[in-house]
Structure 1
């Protein structure tokens, strides 16, 4: 069963979407990391507040990129459909914010991991959750 799932991820029907989702995620994760660094190290904002704002900014960017490229076959077009998709992805990704912030907090406060490293781990861990929900609901 696990082999079949892994095979589908490599060459199955969602393989192209998953690869594109990962590329968009990597780009927006880099943007999120840069924003977090700017908020914390340059503006002096608490890392949890900075992370929350950076996450919301990249939620919007991710939607724009994923709608145009990753899920172009089921792309949200027209004003109402586009804004509805943005709302759905905000709900999906908004539910991932506590996961990401919780992992970030736990790694920084309890494991003494640098906040940028902890944020990278948190982005990765919440990424699988976001893909499944976006694939099924935002563009499903």
Structure 2
């Protein structure tokens, strides 16, 4: 495999979109982790309740970033399209919440992993699922 071939593969639209999705996801994961910590440590919420609230906040955050950058060639422009996309991503990503919370619960309760570390693992586990559904249904990619 030559360097030229690798550059060609990495420059394809799917590869570019996937890299951008991962960057947005990493930023959102950091935001979600900070929010989760604040909700649990400062507000005294149960870690699963705090995770649910943090996830919903980052769903909106990620939609805005992904719509503007990751899927900009398929961007949901205009108020109606933007709101329809926001609703769609909430349904798609909302369907991943049970996956993420289940992984979080199992890691914390059954294996004793710290909740913030377990949340990071849960984000990664549900990430490919979210990408596949979001790219198809929210942006029609």
CA deviations on 1:28-85 (whole Å, 9 max, x unpaired) are 1000000000000111100000000000000000000000000000000111100000
C-alpha separation in 2, matches of 1:138 and 1:8: 27
Paired residues of 1:20 and 1:70 also in contact (CA < 8 A): yes
Please, what is the CA RMSD of the aligned residues? 1.4
Using a 3 Å threshold, how does the CA distance of structure 1 residues 30 and 74 change in structure 2: closer, same or farther?
A: same
Q: Which runs of 4+ in 1 moved over 3 A?
A: 7-13
Matched, 1:75 2:60: no
Paired residues of 1:9 and 1:18 also in contact (CA < 8 A): no
> TM-score, normalization: structure 1?
0.92
For structure 2, the 5+ residue unaligned runs are 1-6
Task: State the Cα distance separating 1:8 from its structure 2 match.
Answer: 9.2
Residue in structure 2 matched with residue 103 of structure 1 by the alignment? 103
* Greater Cα radius of gyration, structure 1 or 2: 2
Using a 3 Å threshold, how does the CA distance of structure 1 residues 124 and 8 change in structure 2: closer, same or farther?
A: farther
C-alpha separation in 2, matches of 1:84 and 1:44: 34
C-alpha separation in 1, matches of 2:46 and 2:12: 43
Using a 3 Å threshold, how does the CA distance of structure 1 residues 111 and 8 change in structure 2: closer, same or farther?
A: farther
Residue in structure 2 matched with residue 40 of structure 1 by the alignment? 40
Residue in structure 1 matched with residue 24 of structure 2 by the alignment? 24
Using a 3 Å threshold, how does the CA distance of structure 1 residues 40 and 65 change in structure 2: closer, same or farther?
A: same
For structure 1, the 5+ residue unaligned runs are 1-6
Q: How many residue pairs were aligned?
A: 134
C-alpha separation in 2, matches of 1:35 and 1:23: 18
